[in-house]
Chain A
Amino acid sequence: MINTIPIHYFLLLSAMLFTIGMLGVIFRRNALIVFMSIELMLNAVNLTLVTFSRFRGDSSGHVIAFLVMAVAAAEAAVGLAIIINIFRHKKVVNIDTMDRMKY
């Protein structure tokens, strides 16, 4: 009995991590920390995918988690380039000040 893990433990862990990431996006104004919170949310979703994949004994969920990782890499590259560009123009990374499309 000690060697079995109920599936809902994994789902609750995933929900908690997702919530922490979401609160980070809502509360923090530093663009870099907002970005890291988004990565945290993506990882929480990956944990859910892998959990259900293990539950069904079908590794399709692993493939989707792999694709999510690729999307996260693309998103991080473009997002960080945008942050660098805005920092070069405005010398801040506070997202409250990023309220225009063009400077």
Chain B
Amino acid sequence: MALILFFVFAIAAVLSGICVAFSPFGNNPVYSAIALIMTLFFLACEFVLLHATFIAVLQILVYAGAIMVLFTFVIMLLNLSKEEIGEERLTLTKVVGLVVVLIGLTYQIGRVIWAHKVAPVTLHLTDGGPSNPAFGTIQDVGVKLFQDFLVPFEVTSILLLVAIVGAVVLAKRKI
């Protein structure tokens, strides 16, 4: 059952991921944004399969909720026409990039499959679950966050403050 769910969500995530980068519906970025929201949702489903409930909820709330609203807001604010979007050209750089990326992907897939051949590892999702029954809950992650990762957490808050100030300074016409 879990395996079937994994494949359903994985195939949906990859297909909508392809729609993000190479949208078959047209050049309008709104299609990409909708496809990206779907990808994020299916990835949240994968997180639930991995017992990462807190991250799954956060994925929906922060990514699909906050960041994608920002994206769609900007897309509609710009209201791009055909000539503003510009044309896509195939250059030698892109072909070289494609070859390099595909070589990297093949290498990585080969490494993962080889490592699995040498020492097969399976995740047991239903027989008992993780050893810690609270694994992945808000309490578990929160305790880790405020004990072991306190300094990165505070640095992140400073980063967000800098980003807020930077976004206002950049987007405002006159300060």
Contact = CB atoms under 8 A, between A and B. Distances in A.
Interface of A: 2-13, 15-17, 19-24, 26-30, 32-33, 35-37, 39-40, 43, 46-47, 50-51, 53-55, 57, 59-60, 62-67, 69-78, 80-85, 87-88, 91-94, 96-97
A57 B130 contact: yes
B160 interface: yes
Among A63, A64, A67, the one with the most B-chain Cβ atoms within 10 Å of its Cβ is A63
20 contacts: A2-B4, A3-B127, A5-B6, A7-B121, A8-B121, A15-B105, A19-B105, A20-B20, A32-B74, A43-B40, A62-B140, A63-B141, A69-B63, A76-B71, A81-B166, A87-B78, A88-B173, A92-B84, A96-B86, A96-B89
B106 to A, nearest CB: 10
Contacts of B80: 93
Contacts, number: 271
A23 to B, nearest CB: 6
Contacts of A70: 156, 159-160
B39 A54 contact: no
B52 A50 contact: yes
Contact of B85 (A20, A30, A39, A51): A30
Chain B: interface size category? 35 or more
Provide the main secondary structure of the chain A interface. Answer: helix
A33 B32 contact: yes
A7 B145 CA distance: 25
Given A72-B67, A97-B86, A33 B116 contact: no
State the 9 A-B residue pairs at the shortest beta-carbon distance, nearest first. Answer: A24-B21, A94-B86, A74-B163, A81-B170, A26-B97, A81-B171, A81-B167, A3-B126, A32-B29
Contact of B54 (A8, A12, A40, A62): A62
Nearest to A86: B170
Given A6-B123, A65-B55, A84 B78 contact: yes
